[in-house]
C-alpha cells in the first residue's frame, strides 16, 4: 500500500549531492519500505536539534553544519513550557521563534519534522508541560475535554508559527509528531491529530513514537511509528557500567523497537510492538547520537557507539536514521529552571543539569563537532548516494538475534539483498565489552563467496561490504559515494582490501586518496579521508591568549547527598554552591577574538557551575570530559568568569565512568581556549 499526496514546492540542494527532495513540487509518499519522493526511494538522515535551546543568531550556522554532516531532515521539539511559562502568555520571541527557525531551515533547503507534544519529555521540566497546568486538577495526556481544550489553544498558537510554511505552501514543514512515548489508547493520539487538522495542519505524513506498545492501535496509515535505540541511558536506576538492555542495540535483529528506552518508567518491557506496526517502513527518530548525563548516572559515550548503532540499524532493515540528539544545546532563560528534576510536579524521574544539554551529540552544545560527527558522515554519504539501491533490499540474519551481553562466539553480521545484489553489514563492536578479533571469515551472499581467502575481522570493526553493486562483484572495502562517475570507497583498517571488478580480483589494494584511482573510476580512501570527503574545510582562526586561573575559596566540606522520590541521587541546588570551591578565570579574549573560541575547563569534581557577572550561564555533571563554553556568547563587558565546583565524595551513589577521576575532592587541572571549525 502506498499512501501520499501531491504537494507543492521546496527546491532543495544539499552539500551531499543529490538532494532529498530533487524537484520542484515533489510528491511525498511512503509504503512498507521507505519514503518515496517524486517516484524515487530515498533514505533520509534526520537530526534532532532544539531551536529553543540555541541562540537564534546561531541557527543558520548550526543547520549548515548539520547539512555538512549529511543530515537531510531536521527534527525539533516545540516545548510547551518554553513558550507558555505563564498561562495565556505565549512567547515566540528570540530563540523561541519557531517561525524564524523554520524560515532558516527553508533557506538552507532542509525539510522539518516538528514534535509538538503536548508532552515531549526531552529532559525538560515536566516533560514540557507548564507548571501552571498542574494546579487545575485536570488529567494530562488524556481525552478529558478540559485538557483537550487547552491543547487546542496550544496547537492554534503553534499553527500561527507554521502557517504558510507547510509543505503544500512551498515551506519546509514536512511532518508532525503528536505527544511522545505514549502507551495508552491510540484514540488519544487520533484526537490530537484531528484537533491539529481541524486548525489547519495539512502535511504529507504524521508520526508517533513506536515505543512503548500502545494499549490499542492507531488506525493504519494515520501515523508512522518511529523507533529508537541508545548505547546507554542516563535514566537507568543502576550505577553499574553496563546496566539495562542497551547491549541489544549492538546486535542485528528483526525486532524494531527497544526495551531499554524509558526503563525508569516502564518496567519489564517485552520485545513487542503495536499490532500492525510491522506494515510500516522501519524508521527511527531516536537513534542515540550521544547521551545526556543525569546526576546519578553519567555515561561517557564513544564515537564507536553511535556509528555501530547506525550500521546495525541499517543492517537490520531501517530506511531512515533519525539521531537524538544530533546537535546539543542549552536550556533557555526562564523564570524557573527548565531542567527535569525529581522534585517537579511531573516527569520527575531524573535530576538533570540546569543549563547544559550537550548530549555528547555529533555537534555539541555550542555546535562543536565531536569525532563521531565525522565518522557518521561517510555513512550518510553512502545513504544519500546508494539509498535508492538499498531501500528496497530485505534484511537477512544469518546469526542469532537473541545474543546475550558480551556474547563473542562468532562475528555479528547481516545482509540486505534484492535479486543478485546486496550489502553485507559487519559489527564486531559492543559498548564496553571488548569483543575479540574474528578469524577465518568468508561471506556467502547472493551467490557470491568472498573474499578469495578467509580474513580476520579486527576487534571493534564496523563496516559495510558491497555485492554486485556499481559493477563491483564484491569488495572488502566500504562504498562511500558515487559522484560524477567516480566511485569512492573506504579502506577498512586491519582488513586487506580486495576488489572484484571486470572479471578481475584486485588484491591487497592500498588507499591512494581522491587524486589517483586504484582502478579506472574507483578511488580508495583512508577512514579519515572518507569521513571528510567533500567537506569544505575552513581556515583556522588565530589562537587566543591563554586564560589565567586563580583559586579564591576552598570548598566548605561535603554536602548530604539525598535520594529523591524516584530513587535516584538528588543533584545539588543553588544554596549548595555557597559552599563550593571558587575559581576565577581571567585574561579572556575580547570582541571578534571570541569567535569560534571554546573555553575548555579540565577539572575533577562532582558538579561545576560557570557564572558571568554573578549569573549562572552553564553547568556540568562531571564524567571525565571537560566543561566547555562558547566564549562568543558572553556579554561584551565580561572580563572574567567564576567557576564553582563541589567536591567528589567517597562512595557516592553515582555512576562515574572509568574516564572520571573519582579521587575525593576537587581541582581545576587545566584551562585552555580551543578553536573549532568543522
Q: Quickly list DSSP for 204-234.
A: SEEEEE--S--SBPPPTTSSEEEEEE-S--T
Cβ-contact 487, 450 below 8 angstroms: no
Query: What count of other Cβ atoms lies within 10 Å of the Cβ of residue 163?
Result: 15
Within 8 A by CB and 6+ apart from 29, the residues are 2, 3, 4, 35, 36, 37
Predicted confidence at residue 14, as pLDDT, reads 39
Predicted confidence at residue 203, as pLDDT, reads 97
Q: Mean pLDDT lowest for which of 447-456, 473-482, 525-534, 669-678? A: 669-678
Higher pLDDT, 567 or 270: 567
Cα gap 483→493, rounded to integer Å: 24
Predicted confidence at residue 678, as pLDDT, reads 56
Nearest to residue 468, comparing CAs of 504, 421, 427?
Answer: 421
User: Once rounded to an integer, what is the mean pLDDT over residues 106-110?
Assistant: 95
Task: Provide the percentage of residues in the chain whose pLDDT is more than 70.
Answer: 95
Asked if residue 477 has pLDDT above 90, the reply is: yes
pLDDT of 391-427, one tens digit each? 999 999 999 999 999 999 999 999 999 999 999 999 9
User: pLDDT band at residue 540, thresholds of 50, 70 and 90?
Assistant: low
Cross-strand bridge partners of residue 602: 670
User: pLDDT band at residue 263, thresholds of 50, 70 and 90?
Assistant: confident
Asked if residue 369 has pLDDT above 70, the reply is: yes
Cβ-contact 461, 478 below 8 angstroms: no
pLDDT of 9-45, one tens digit each? 333 333 333 445 433 548 899 999 999 999 999 999 9
Predicted confidence at residue 272, as pLDDT, reads 81
Where helices occur in 517-561 by DSSP H, the ranges are 527-531
User: Once rounded to an integer, what is the mean pLDDT over residues 282-304?
Assistant: 98
User: pLDDT band at residue 626, thresholds of 50, 70 and 90?
Assistant: very high
pLDDT of 570-580, one tens digit each? 999 999 999 99
User: pLDDT band at residue 541, thresholds of 50, 70 and 90?
Assistant: low
pLDDT of 350-359, one tens digit each? 999 999 999 9
Asked if residue 211 has pLDDT above 50, the reply is: yes
Within 8 A by CB and 6+ apart from 51, the residues are 59, 76, 95, 97, 98, 101
Helix or strand run (H / E) with residue 357: strand 356-357
Distance of CA 608 to the CA centre of its chain: 25
| 3-class SS of residue 595 | coil
Cα gap 626→121, rounded to integer Å: 26
Cα gap 174→114, rounded to integer Å: 8
Quick one: 10 exposed, middle or buried, by C-beta within 10 A (0-12, 13-18, 19+)?
buried
What are the grid coordinates assigned to 229, written together? 535505540
Query: What count of other Cβ atoms lies within 10 Å of the Cβ of residue 449?
Result: 10
User: Once rounded to an integer, what is the mean pLDDT over residues 290-306?
Assistant: 98
Cα gap 60→103, rounded to integer Å: 10
* C-alpha torsion angle, residues 429, 431, 435, 437 (rounded to 10): 40
Where helices occur in 292-370 by DSSP H, the ranges are 303-315
Predicted confidence at residue 671, as pLDDT, reads 97
Cα gap 531→231, rounded to integer Å: 22
Predicted confidence at residue 536, as pLDDT, reads 85
Higher pLDDT, 453 or 5: 453
Q: What does the mean pLDDT of the chain come to?
A: 94
Q: Does the pTM exceed 0.85? A: yes
Cβ-contact 65, 363 below 8 angstroms: yes
Distances (CA, A) of 265 to 269, 359, 444: 10, 21, 43
User: pLDDT band at residue 259, thresholds of 50, 70 and 90?
Assistant: confident
Cβ-contact 273, 256 below 8 angstroms: yes
Query: What count of other Cβ atoms lies within 10 Å of the Cβ of residue 377?
Result: 26
Within 8 A by CB and 6+ apart from 31, the residues are 1, 2, 3, 281
User: Once rounded to an integer, what is the mean pLDDT over residues 503-515?
Assistant: 97
User: pLDDT band at residue 494, thresholds of 50, 70 and 90?
Assistant: very high
Amino acid at each position: 500500500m502506498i499512501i501520499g499526496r501531491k504537494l507543492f514546492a521546496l527546491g532543495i540542494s544539499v552539500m551531499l549531492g543529490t538532494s532529498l527532495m530533487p524537484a520542484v513540487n515533489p510528491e511525498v509518499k511512503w509504503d512498507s519500505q521507505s519514503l518515496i519522493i517524486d517516484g524515487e526511494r530515498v533514505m533520509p538522515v534526520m537530526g534532532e536539534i532544539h531551536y529553543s535551546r540555541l541562540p537564534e543568531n546561531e541557527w543558520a550556522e548550526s543547520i549548515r553544519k548539520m547539512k555538512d554532516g549529511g543530515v537531510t531532515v531536521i527534527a525539533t521539539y516545540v516545548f510547551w513550557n518554553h513558550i507558555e511559562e505563564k498561562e495565556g502568555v505565549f512567547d515566540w520571541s528570540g530563540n523561541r521563534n519557531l517561525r524564524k527557525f523554520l524560515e532558516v531551515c527553508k533557506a538552507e533547503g532542509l525539510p522539518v519534522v516538528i514534535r509538538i507534544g503536548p508532552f515531549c519529555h526531552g529532559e525538560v521540566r515536566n516533560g514540557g508541560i507548564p507548571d501552571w497546568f498542574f494546579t487545575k486538577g485536570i488529567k494530562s495526556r488524556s481525552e478529558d475535554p478540559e485538557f483537550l481544550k487547552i491543547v487546542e489553544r496550544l496547537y492554534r498558537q503553534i499553527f500561527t508559527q507554521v502557517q504558510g510554511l507547510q509543505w503544500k505552501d512551498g515551506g519546509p514543514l514536512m511532518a508532525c509528531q503528536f505527544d511522545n512515548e505514549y502507551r495508552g489508547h491510540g484514540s488519544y493520539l487520533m484526537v490530537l491529530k484531528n484537533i491539529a487538522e481541524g486548525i489547519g495542519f495539512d502535511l504529507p505524513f504524521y508520526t508517533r513514537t513506536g515505543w512503548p506498545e500502545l494499549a490499542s492501535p492507531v488506525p493504519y496509515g494515520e501515523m508512522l511509528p518511529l523507533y529508537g535505540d541508545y548505547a546507554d541511558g542516563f535514566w537507568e536506576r543502576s550505577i553499574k557500567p553496563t546496566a539495562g538492555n542497551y547491549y541489544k542495540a549492538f546486535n542485528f535483529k528483526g525486532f524494531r523497537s527497544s526495551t531499554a528506552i524509558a526503563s525508569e518508567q516502564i518496567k519489564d518491557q517485552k520485545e513487542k510492538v503495536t499490532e500492525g506496526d510491522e506494515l510500516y517502513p522501519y524508521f527511527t527518530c531516536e537513534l542515540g547520537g550521544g547521551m545526556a548525563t543525569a546526576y546519578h548516572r553519567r555515561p561517557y559515550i564513544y564515537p564507536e557507539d553511535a556509528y555501530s548503532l547506525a550500521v546495525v540499524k541499517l543492517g537490520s532493515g531501517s530506511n531512515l536514521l533519525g539521531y537524538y540528539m544530533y546537535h546539543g544545546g542549552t536550556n533557555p532563560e526562564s523564570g524557573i529552571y527548565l531542567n527535569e528534576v525529581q522534585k517537579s510536579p511531573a516527569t520527575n524521574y531524573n535530576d538533570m543539569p540546569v543549563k547544559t544539554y550537550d548530549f555528547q551529540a555529533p555537534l555539541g552544545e555550542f555546535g562543536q563537532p565531536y569525532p563521531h560527527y565525522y565518522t557518521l558522515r561517510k555513512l550518510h554519504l553512502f545513504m544519500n548516494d546508494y539509498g535508492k539501491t538499498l531501500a528496497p533490499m530485505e534484511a537477512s540474519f544469518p546469526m542469532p538475534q537473541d545474543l546475550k551481553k558480551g556474547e563473542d562466539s562468532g562475528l555479528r553480521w547481516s545482509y540486505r539483498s534484492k535479486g543478485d545484489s546486496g550489502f553485507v553489514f559487519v559489527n564486531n563492536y559492543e559498548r564496553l565489552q571488548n569483543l575479540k578479533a574474528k578469524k577465518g571469515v568468508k561471506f556467502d551472499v547472493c551467490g557470491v563467496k568472498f573474499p578469495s581467502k578467509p580474513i580476520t575481522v579486527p576487534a571493534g570493526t564496523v563496516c559495510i561490504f558491497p555485492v554486485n553493486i556499481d559493477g563491483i562483484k564484491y569488495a572488502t572495502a566500504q562504498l562511500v559515494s558515487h559522484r560524477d562517475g567516480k566511485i569512492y570507497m573506504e579502506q577498512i583498517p586491519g582488513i586487506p582490501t580486495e576488489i572484484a571488478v571486470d572479471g578481475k580480483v584486485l588484491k591487497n589494494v592500498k588507499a591512494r586518496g581522491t587524486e589517483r584511482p586504484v582502478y579506472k573510476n574507483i578511488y580508495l580512501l583512508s577512514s579519515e579521508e572518507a569521513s571528510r570527503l567533500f567537506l569544505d574545510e575552513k581556515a583556522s582562526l588565530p589562537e587566543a591568549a591563554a586564560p589565567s586561573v586563580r583559586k579564591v575559596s576552598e570548598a566548605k566540606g561535603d554536602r548530604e547527598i539525598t535520594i529523591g522520590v524516584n530513587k535516584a541521587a538528588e543533584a545539588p541546588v543553588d544554596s549548595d554552591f555557597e559552599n563550593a570551591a571558587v575559581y576565577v578565570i581571567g585574561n579572556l579574549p575580547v570582541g571578534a577574538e571570541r569567535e569560534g573560541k571554546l573555553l575548555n575547563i579540565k577539572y575533577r569534581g562532582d558538579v561545576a557551575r560557570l557564572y558571568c557577572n554573578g549569573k549562572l550561564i552553564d553547568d556540568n555533571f562531571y564524567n571525565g570530559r571537560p566543561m566547555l563554553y562558547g566564549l562568543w556568547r558572553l556579554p561584551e563587558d565580561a572580563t572574567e568568569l567564576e567557576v564553582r565546583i563541589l567536591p567528589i565524595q567517597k562512595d557516592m551513589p553515582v555512576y562515574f565512568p572509568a574516564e572520571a577521576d573519582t579521587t575525593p575532592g576537587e581541582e581545576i587541572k587545566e584551562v585552555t581556549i580551543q578553536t573549532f571549525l568543522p
